């Protein structure tokens, strides 16, 4: 099968484009695929996609006024680059980042892996937090025997 774009070389790739809900399927050669990829790269950037996913309807003026006090990065610059400038940016752009993170990762809390050297500390913190929540629930339900047992278990964790 010949390339649908140049009609010279054998098609080695299948490309499906969806524009305005219209599906176009093409069979293209590798050289036309490179050209097409470059066109797409110029049209889109990861920052544009990330900005679009956030669902935040901000005016361009607002994006330029929010600025990191540490590195000087504006929110508009973040949307263009797709990267934050420093650790302080997470605090400065918190309000804009939370909806973006929720949409991309379905959560704003880390639930993945962490370094092995931190495993025992992280496990201990998680267990302690879980016990505190159970203790508060037991107290609200006036289950004082369970509350005492949970309190003792928390003390044992604190000793280690």
Does residue 56 register a pLDDT over 70? no
Does residue 43 register a pLDDT over 90? no
Instruction: Spell out the long-range contacts of 109-115 with Cβ–Cβ below 8 A and sequence spacing 24 or more.
Output: none
If you ran DSSP here, which 8-state letter would residue 83 be given? S
The rounded percent of the chain whose pLDDT value lies above 70 is: 77
β-strands 22-28, 13-19: how paired? antiparallel
- pTM score, whole prediction: 0.37
Question: Which position has the higher pLDDT, 11 or 121?
Answer: 11
Of the candidate ranges 3-12, 30-39, 56-65, 130-139, the one whose mean pLDDT is the lowest: 56-65
Q: Which of 91, 107, 110, 99 is nearest to 52 (CA)?
A: 99
Rounded CA separation 134/31 (Å): 62
Report how far apart, in Å, the C-alpha atoms of 27 and of each of 10, 40, 43 are: 9, 17, 21
Rg (CA), the chain: 26
Does residue 156 register a pLDDT over 70? yes
Tell me: the pLDDT tens digits for 95-115?
888 888 888 877 777 667 767
Q: Residue 15: beta bridge partners? A: 26
For position 59, what pLDDT does the model report?
Answer: 43
If you ran DSSP here, which 8-state letter would residue 9 be given? S
Report how far apart, in Å, the C-alpha atoms of 100 and of each of 54, 58, 82, 94, 129 are: 4, 13, 12, 10, 27
Domain extent listing, the chain = 1-43, 47-105, 116-159
């Amino acid at each position: 099968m010949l390339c649908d774009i140049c009609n010279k070389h054998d098609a080695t790739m299948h490309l499906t484009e969806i524009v305005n809900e219209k599906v176009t399927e093409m069979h293209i050669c590798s050289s036309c695929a490179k050209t097409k990829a470059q066109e797409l790269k110029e049209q889109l950037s990861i920052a544009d996609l990330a900005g679009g996913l956030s669902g935040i309807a901000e005016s361009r003026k607002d994006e330029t006024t929010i600025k990191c006090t540490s590195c000087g990065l504006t929110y508009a610059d973040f949307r263009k680059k797709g990267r934050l400038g420093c650790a302080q940016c997470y605090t400065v752009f918190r309000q804009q980042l939370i909806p973006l993170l929720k949409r991309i990762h379905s959560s704003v809390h880390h639930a993945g892996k962490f370094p092995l050297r931190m495993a025992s500390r992280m496990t201990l913190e998680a267990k302690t937090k879980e016990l505190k929540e159970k203790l508060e629930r037991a107290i609200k339900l006036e289950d004082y025997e369970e509350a005492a047992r949970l309190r003792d278990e928390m003390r044992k964790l604190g000793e280690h």
